[in-house]
Structure 1
Amino acid sequence: MKNRTISFKEDGIFSYDRFNKIGFGLSLIVLIAVVVLLGITYFFQRNSDVLIFKVINIVITHFTSHISDVTPLGILYTTLIGGLFFVSMPLELLFIKFLNAGNPIIVLFLFYFLGLIVSFTINYFIGLKLSALSKRIISPKKFYKTKGVLNRYGALAIFAFNALPLPAQLLTVILGVFRYNKTRFYVFFLSGQLAKYLVITVFTLFF
């Protein structure tokens, strides 16, 4: 029997890639449209007697009241939500607010870091399990620029991203895509965050 070699046409490969991009783009547009439509519907119907809107109002009130009252649960919710890579929240400024509110430092650090651990773990596993989607949401330029930084500086880069006001959440997703060692990730993620918030605590309380 003759061996058959399978050849790929360049045009076919590019057409397939283009088809994938178009499909992803259309799916993203539909998803955004659905989210916007739901948001508009809730905005105009939030005070109605519809059960789903009542439940949403209860959940929103629960979260916002705990965060504004600076309760331990509010501290947990802040980093649980704000630590996700697709949420923009000034976590350092909120930490100072919680610190000035008179919360015991041990309680503040315990709940704050518990939320960070959960949210950063979610970020890591989104990158790990949904690598193709993550690469499309975050630009390839950022991915490979970050990979270059990691190759050059190693774990020091992870520590620096977490110790300084840099996009550590995005870095965590990228580390998940690259299947970075989880133990090393947690060690340098936590040590960087701990160093940052200890410095903020000292400056807030004594300067």
Structure 2
Amino acid sequence: MLHGETELRLSHEGTGAILLDGAGAVFDDSVQKKVWRLARDLKFMHGVLETVPGMNNLMVVFDPLMLDAYVVEMAMRDLWEASARGDSTGRIVDVPVFYGGADGVDLEDFASAKSLSVDEVTQRHTAPLYSVAAVGAMPGFVYLSGLDPTLAAPRLANPRQGVPKGSVIIGGGQTGIMPITAPSGWHILGRTPLDLFDPNRARPALFAPGDQIRFVAERQI
């Protein structure tokens, strides 16, 4: 049980993977820290091929010829209970953002829909210290927790076919950064010149789970 309320759920995904669901419908930062720690600990288990943290969940991929699924499941449960402290050792990185104008084509309409000024939206967006909960969906894409709930907004009814690389975006209760130009229904508030993914780097993805991001406004409308 988690916090005495939420039951840890494990589901088998074929013969060589187990999915851990650590929380209910509401994202929990303390659960995410336990997910990160469990992902790190299980990497050292003989026969585990990969651990993939998600938003309050974790996929563990293993070789069923080397490890029995029951052994993996018991290890996951035991380590989960032992990882209550869930410490984070990630970096804190300032991310420069050019808000509005051609870089943030939705900013004015977004602010108007919220009955806020552009300055207020920018200030609320740059105020939190965000945590990289998970990396996925596309190479280098960061799922960030910590968005001011007043900035949460439904995704666009008609997604754009090509949201530019570097776009700083909001969709639902999350904010993120586009690592490549790709379709998306999230609102575009600005752009960062940082390159989130480069396959030629020693560490291709700029951010890892557990890192923290602080958006820094370089320009406003």
**CA radius of gyration, larger in:** 1
**Is TM more than 0.5 here?**
no
Whose helix fraction is larger, Structure 1's or Structure 2's?
1
Whose strand fraction is larger, Structure 1's or Structure 2's?
2
TM-score normalised by structure 2 residue count: 0.26
TM-score normalised by structure 1 residue count: 0.27
Which one scores higher on RCO, CA 8 angstroms, separation ≥ 6?
Answer: 2
